[in-house]
Amino acid sequence: MPVCRRRCKGLDIRAVRRYSSIKPQRQDSILQPRPKRPLTLRDVSEASGVSEMTVSRVLRNKGDVSATTREKVQAAARRLGYVPNKIAGALASQRVNLVAVIIPSLGNMVFPEVLSGISEELEGTDLQPVVGVTDYKPEKEEKVLFEMLSWRPSGVIIAGLEHSEASRAMLLQAGIPVVEVMDTDGDPIDTAVGISHRRAGRLMAEAILDAGYSRIGFMGTKMPLDHRARKRFEGFTQTLAKAGVEIADQEFYSGGSALAKGREMTHAMLARSPDLDFLYYSNDMIGAGGLLYLQEQGADIPGSIGLAGFNGVELLDGLPRKLATMDACRKEIGQTAARIIAARNSDGASEEGQTVELSPTLSRGDTLRDA
């Protein structure tokens, strides 16, 4: 029992002693009421006046039940606060109505849009997305996968095509639909939905070369763990090489504010290589930092120097100049992946091995001159 240490003025100390000698009565039933037993189908049945079988059908959204009876059961369940035991149902079906969604980051603006697409598409179904975050770490992906698959979800939507051997084994043996999203440059375990990042890099390089730029610097994240950024860089540099152009300068970062890093790296790179005429950033946020820095310096954009990012982040539409970028089809990727999971759970049709490649759109904005 907590002790009150405040001084009580005017209290007779003898009364305190007499009171303290009295044996306290049990107050358990008043202060700490015993927890109620879990509600059952029988409770809902009695409250609604229909059979347990009918209650079960209504709550599982199965069988032919009249609208009046359905409403009566649902009203009783809401009134009681009854929540069905999905785990008990999973023992028979071997599935729960959850879709495991595994992404590298919630801090990156890319993935919330993917999640939005998934959530919107699953809204009209019995499926619910549950999110796990890996921080781009293969060992953390293994842990998240292990925990989520132990609940026997109805499907997995996971970012990327590169996984550890343990993760691949778990996904291959899961026996449920698996959709790898964001990337199509590789062999999917089951189904892939995304864009070709190598192709995106090639398209951006072609646009920069066609516009007449030739002294190009690149800035991006440290890419051993960000496979999609690495693939864009590969497609970009390979296209430049075919035209006899090499990256004149490059710099990579990890951690910290992307906007601040973009400013810092742009300042450092142009101090080293003042003759650069184009800066390509691996994402829009560091590109926005570079754009703000160059505007403060009074740079001639896109005449003397051009800039481009990647992702088509709408948050940056309010900048004084619109950054050239490429839309990565994020929301559409989420919608398509969720649609595949829902269809596979609905009709059981197997479409393993398919790859759905979406086409990103190049936006020249105000920082990439016309060809």
Give dist(CA 252, CA 270) in Å, integer. Answer: 15
* Residue type at 3 in one-letter notation: V
* Spatial separation of the C-alpha atoms in residues 227 and 217, rounded to whole Å: 20
Q: Which CATH number belongs to the domain containing residue 46 in this structure?
A: 1.10.260.40
pLDDT value at position 310?
95
Q: Which two tokens stand for residue 166?
A: 């343990």
Asked if pLDDT for residue 318 goes beyond 80, the answer is: no
* 349 compared with 248, residue with greater pLDDT: 248
Omega prior to 38 cis, within 30 of 0 = no
Domain boundary among 50, 84, 118: 84
| Res 93: pLDDT | 58
- Position 223 scores a pLDDT of 67
At 186, which CATH number? 3.40.50.2300
Tokens (6 digits) for 59: 């709550």
Is residue 305 pLDDT above 60, yes or no? yes
Would 362 be classed as within a structural domain?
A: no
Would you place residue 13 in the very low, low, confident or very high pLDDT band (cuts 50, 70, 90)? very low
In this structure, are residues 232 and 197 in contact, taking their beta carbons and an 8 Å threshold?
yes
Per-residue pLDDT at 352: 66
* Containing structural domain, residue 253: 197-328
Render 293-334 in DSSP notation, one character per residue: HHHHTT--TTTT-EEE-SB--GGGGGSSSPPBEEB--HHHHH
Distance separating the N- and C-terminal Cα atoms of the chain: 79
Does residue 178 lie in a domain region? yes
pLDDT, averaged across the chain: 85
pLDDT at 348: 61
Could you give the percent of the chain with pLDDT greater than 90? Answer: 60
**Four-CA torsion 109, 115, 117, 123, nearest 10 degrees:** -150
**Whole-angstrom distance, CA of residue 226 vs CA of residue 183:** 11
> For position 5, what pLDDT does the model report?
38
CA distances from 144 to 73, 95, 132, 139, 180 (A): 37, 18, 6, 9, 15
Question: For position 152, what pLDDT does the model report?
Answer: 85
pLDDT over 50 (residue 15) = no
Residue 245 lies in a domain: yes
Same domain, yes or no: 71 and 56? yes
Q: Say if 14 falls within a structural domain.
A: no
Q: Are residues 202 and 176 in the same domain?
A: no
